[in-house]
Amino acid sequence: MLPLSSTGPGGTSLLTALFTSTSAVCVTGLVVVDTSTHWSAFGEGVILVLIQLGGLGIMTFASLLGLLVWRRLGLRSRLTAAAETKAVGLGDVRSVVRGVVITSLVFEAITAALLAARFALGYDEPWDRAAYLGLFHAVSAFNNAGFALWSDSLTPFVTDPYICLPVAFAVIAGGLGFPVWLELHKHVRQPRRWSMHTQMTLAATAGLLVAGAVFVTANEWSNPGTLGALDPPGRLLAGFFHGVMPRTAGFNSVDYGAMRDGTLLATEILMFIGGGSAGTAGGIKVTTFVLLFLVIWAEVRGDRDVEAFERRIGDRTIRQALTIALLGVAAVVASTLVLLEVSEQTTEAVLFEAVSAFATVGLSTGITADLPASGQLVLTALMFLGRLGPITLVSALALRERPTLHRLPEGRPIIG
Amino acid sequence: MLPLSSTGPGGTSLLTALFTSTSAVCVTGLVVVDTSTHWSAFGEGVILVLIQLGGLGIMTFASLLGLLVWRRLGLRSRLTAAAETKAVGLGDVRSVVRGVVITSLVFEAITAALLAARFALGYDEPWDRAAYLGLFHAVSAFNNAGFALWSDSLTPFVTDPYICLPVAFAVIAGGLGFPVWLELHKHVRQPRRWSMHTQMTLAATAGLLVAGAVFVTANEWSNPGTLGALDPPGRLLAGFFHGVMPRTAGFNSVDYGAMRDGTLLATEILMFIGGGSAGTAGGIKVTTFVLLFLVIWAEVRGDRDVEAFERRIGDRTIRQALTIALLGVAAVVASTLVLLEVSEQTTEAVLFEAVSAFATVGLSTGITADLPASGQLVLTALMFLGRLGPITLVSALALRERPTLHRLPEGRPIIG
Ligand SMILES: [K+]
Ligand SMILES: [K+]
């Protein structure tokens, strides 16, 4: 980033610029300098553009890859109305880009309007400043980026539903993913025509939102450092907010450093699972998680096939889900080991940071800026890997599916 | 346990007796009271008998279940020479019990003799006391129980290879599992005739031992609280010892409370993986771990089939391995959440304790006795679950395999 991006006289180190740019373009939201004080208006603008480009880019890229996989496998695509071919042409790209841009702008505009009105009317901000704040946080929310223009994220608004609810709404909308919105747009009144992907994403998102909100609310209810300091309606709002944010927006309205250990562990699980495919959320994605869950269910029932929503899930799809999840675990564990070597932080804090970076969440117990340069580089790499890894890996795996000419006899090791 | 089991005037609480009995019979080795000072000679004898019965029982039970599964599925069984039928008869039971008992006694006798000689000659113990010490620790080692008659486990012998190496040898032998020993006994000079199970177990055990020993040695080399206090040969011995012990014996010769965080994390991974099937080790078993690894390898290569050792692995076997591993993760995470709620310990210490109990390892950072009664009950349940869960679950899953009459059309959600 250019020197004029920062406010102070010292400028910005190359590492800080690299870390912040990666965090913005990967819509993660981890920061090593305070966004509100370190960057000039120009620097904030650069971050905003990077977030928007990062969000649009990932949605377009993932949607096109999904389309390519579906085409190649001869499955009916619902992403475009084009005739079925095995290639993805320029027309598809235009159509997807247009859809992604329109979807993003609509949600961001609604959210920005709601937030701007509240900043102007509730906090006496001048209209131009209120509009800027509304726009910045709407883009940051819909793209699940989690960058905020206050040093302590959205903590000043912990009990204000007119700020927290629009932000949560935009976060959830962005996290569902473009294919889901496209299908809802086309067949909103005909749930029977929704694809398995849409049904699975909606059901899993609802389940994880409820589970996360209930757990956080219950576990932090009497913690004076977090929800315990609020009145009961405020506790409910903040509990809901922090059930939504790990998936994978990364705003916070109470201090994660003061959260109970159980809440941090539950948050790590929610972060790792993440949101919907081909959206702005990170993690291994809810569909991957649900597939693994369905395998267990099918095994316990003794079923030959893994089934859901009146469809059978192929063994290759299951193996791909397993591969994504295990490589995700491996990336997080390996990064945690390296971070433990290069820093003096506890396993708890470092693991939280690694999951947060991998799932492009951006929540932190506050140690990011204290990590040595090598640690910040590990997180930078992890953000890239977490952002692009699952999407490209699963597409590569799906496209490499090929039949074999001969099969070996089956062997059966004893397991368990 | 009876009052005469303990040395002190206060006797033993019901919870302590329950915890210790479970720990012994599940060959875990977690303790809430000091084995060497709390229990009388009679109490020690009871613990020794429980360990031996627990070890013999689990090996017999798991071997018979493996036999039943193989028979039912029409796979060639190598556990007995009996004719192929689909039922497991009394003859099979006798044959397996005899084999398990003989295997155990041979290894325990060798180890006990080596240890007793060292205690008598190297530490001037009277011969009867040396024989008792040798027997107790040989049984505890072969059965991967990890109970020791010194307050700080085997710390007094950290640099003595004549104690550490026989113990490590017995631990590895017990952890390979009865089916492997039976096959090695029959076809020791013909590796080509070894089953896939034996080849996979031996290869994975060797790999994990080397990886564990190298990582622990390198990571603790300069830690003054652990290996750093020793001379270089002592460091190598202690590093090797602590690469072996997480899988899943649970003796220690340096203080785990002083280990670096990275070592604890690596130890947790080794503990969770555990040892061979139908042996005295715990965890999800090395074959389960290898199968998951092979799935990733096959996916990255784009192979239709998961293959190893010139055999194809069936999709049902893969799903069963996945089920065991994920339910193991779920049990550990759920227990960790509960332990965090009921105690004031850190996530790090509690997670280590939960993995140690689930995988029946018995290593601890030292918090076991400080946990409240509810926490100790959680660990007790987790030890039982970890000891019996994987074996019975995988057998139940394998025996429930049944064909379905109709198959649904395939659906393909976007993952990753
Ligand atoms: K984020
Ligand atoms: K043990």
Q: What stretch of H or E contains A186?
A: helix A178-186
Q: What is the DSSP letter of B314?
A: P
Q: Using the beta-carbon criterion (under 8 Å), do A414 and B277 form an inter-chain contact?
A: yes
In a domain, B410, yes or no: no
Residues of chain B numbered 77-116 and touching chain A (CB < 8 Å): none
Question: Which ligand places an atom closest to the C-alpha of A387?
Answer: 1
pLDDT of A243? 92
**CA distance to partner chain A, nearest, from residue B107 (Å):** 23
Q: Which tops the pLDDT comparison, B134 or B182? A: B134
Phi and psi, residue A89, nearest 5°? -100, 180
- CB B322 to CB A322 under 8 A? yes
Which residues, 6+ apart, have CB-to-CB distance to B20 below 8 Å?
B1, B31, B32, B33, B47
Instruction: Report the separation in Å between the CA atom of A167 and the middle of ligand 1, taken as the mean of its atom positions.
Output: 13
Question: A378 lies in a domain?
Answer: yes
Q: State pLDDT tens for residues A41-72.
A: 788 888 888 888 888 888 888 888 877 776 66
ipTM: 0.86
| Nearest residue of B to residue A337, measured between CA atoms | B262
Check residue A351 and give its pLDDT.
Answer: 93
d(CA B327, CA A226): 32
Lowest mean pLDDT among A174-183, B22-31, B75-84, B120-129: B75-84
Does residue B78 register a pLDDT over 50? no
Query: Taking CB atoms and an 8 Å limit, are B264 and A347 in contact across chains?
Result: yes
Distance between Cα B249 and ligand 2 center (Å): 4
* Chain A touched by B58 (CB under 8 Å): no
Chain B residues in contact with A343 by the CB 8 A cut-off are none
* pLDDT-based confidence at residue A80 (cuts at 50, 70, 90): very low
Angle at B324 between CA B391 and CA B50, to 5 degrees: 35
Whether the CB-CB separation of A227 and A221 falls below 8 Å is answered with: yes
- Angle A104-A109-A110 (CA atoms, 0-180°, nearest 5)? 105
**B266 neighbourhood in chain A, CB within 8 Å:** 337
A412–B contact, CB cutoff 8 A:
yes
List CB contacts (< 8 A) between B301 and chain A.
400
What pLDDT was estimated at residue B280? 87
* Window from A90-94, A120-124, A208-212, B406-410 with minimum mean pLDDT: B406-410
Q: Does B405 touch chain A (CB under 8 A)?
A: no
CA distance B133 to chain A (A): 33
Torsion on CA atoms A358, A363, A369, A371, rounded to nearest 10: -40
- Residue B337 pLDDT class (50, 70, 90 cuts): very high
Residue B189 has pLDDT above 50, yes or no: yes
Lowest mean pLDDT among A28-37, A141-150, B205-214: A28-37
pLDDT at B36: 72
Residue A410 forms part of a structural domain: no
Those residues whose C-beta lies under 8 Å from the C-beta of residue B373, and which sit 6 or more positions away, are: B15
Decide: residue B216, CB within 10 A, 0-12 exposed, 13-18 middle, 19+ buried. Answer: buried
Dist CA B50 CA B54 (whole Å): 6
Mean confidence (pLDDT) of chain A: 84
Return d(Cα B34, Cα B17) in angstroms, integer.
Answer: 12
Name the token pair of A88.
């993805």
Any CB–CB contact under 8 A between B406 and chain A? no
User: In this structure, is residue B238 part of a structural domain?
Assistant: yes
Q: Are A140 and A147 within 8 A, CB to CB?
A: yes
Distance of residue B176 Cα from the nearest chain A Cα, in angstroms = 12
Instruction: Determine, yes or no, domain membership for B297.
Output: yes
Size of interface A-B (CB pairs under 8 A): 257
Question: How confident is the model over B250-261, as a mean pLDDT?
Answer: 88
**Structural contact between residues A167 and A137, judged by C-beta atoms closer than 8 angstroms:** yes
| B269: pLDDT strictly greater than 80 | yes
Which residues in chain B (141-200) have CB-CB distances under 8 A to chain A? 177, 179, 195-197, 200
Residue B304: what pLDDT?
Answer: 78
**Cα B265 from Cα B281, distance rounded (Å):** 19
Q: Which residues contact A103 (CB under 8 A, 6 or more apart)?
A: A178, A181, A182
pLDDT in tens, B303-331: 878 888 888 888 888 888 898 899 999 99
Question: Distance (Å) from the C-alpha of residue A403 to the closest C-alpha of chain B?
Answer: 6
What pLDDT shows up at residue A33? 81
Please count the other Cβ atoms lying within 10 Å of the Cβ belonging to residue B232: 9
* Mean pLDDT score across all residues of chain B: 84
Residue A148, token pair as written in the block:
């905020």
What pLDDT does residue A81 have? 44
Q: Of the ranges A394-408, B220-234, B379-393, which is most confident?
A: B220-234
A300 touches chain B (CB under 8 A): yes
Q: Is A74 an 8 Å CB contact of chain B?
A: no
B253 touches chain A (CB under 8 A): no
- Give pLDDT, residue B289: 92
Q: Which of A196, A319, A323 is nearest residue B413 as measured by Cβ atoms?
A: A196
Q: Give the integer Cα–Cα distance in Å for B180 and B185.
A: 8
Mind listing the pLDDT tens digit for each residue in A374-407?
A: 888 999 899 988 888 787 877 777 776 666 566 6
The whole-number pLDDT of residue B73 equals: 57
Of B101, B109, B106, the C-alpha closest to B63 is B101
Residue B395 counted as domain residue: yes
Of A296, A312, A324, the CB nearest to B411: A312
DSSP tag of B122 = H
- Cα of B117 to ligand 1 centre, how many Å? 63
C-beta of residue B115 within 8 angstroms of C-beta of residue B219: no
Q: What is the pLDDT of residues A185-205, one digit of tens each?
A: 888 788 777 888 888 999 999
**Residues from chain A contacting residue B348 (CB–CB below 8 Å):** 346-348
Q: Is the pLDDT of residue B59 over 90?
A: no
Q: Residue A359 Cα, ligand 1 centroid: separation in angstroms?
A: 8
Q: Which amino acid is at B404?
A: T
Contact A400 B261 (CB under 8 A): no
Give A375-397 as a DSSP string: HHHHHHHHHHHHHHHHHHHHHHH
Q: Is residue B15 part of a domain?
A: yes
Q: What is the torsion angle, in degrees rounded to the nearest 10, for the CA atoms of residue A374, residue A376, residue A377 and residue A379?
A: 130
| Residue A385 domain-assigned (yes or no) | yes
Sequence-separated (6 or more) residues with CB below 8 Å from residue B124: none
**Chain A nearest CA to B279, separation (Å):** 11
Confidence of residue B373 (pLDDT cuts 50, 70, 90): confident
Write down the pLDDT at residue A73: 57
DSSP bridge partners of B313: A411, B306
Burial B262-277 (b: 16+ CB within 10 A, else e): bbbbbbbbbbbbbbbb
A319/B298 Cβ within 8 A: yes
Per the structure, the complete domain to which residue A57 belongs is given by 22-81+90-400
- Look at chain A and report how many structural domains it folds into: 1
- A405 and B CB contact within 8 Å: no
Among residues 375-394 of chain A, which lie with CB inside 8 Å of chain B? 390-391, 393-394
pLDDT above 90: percentage of residues in chain B: 33
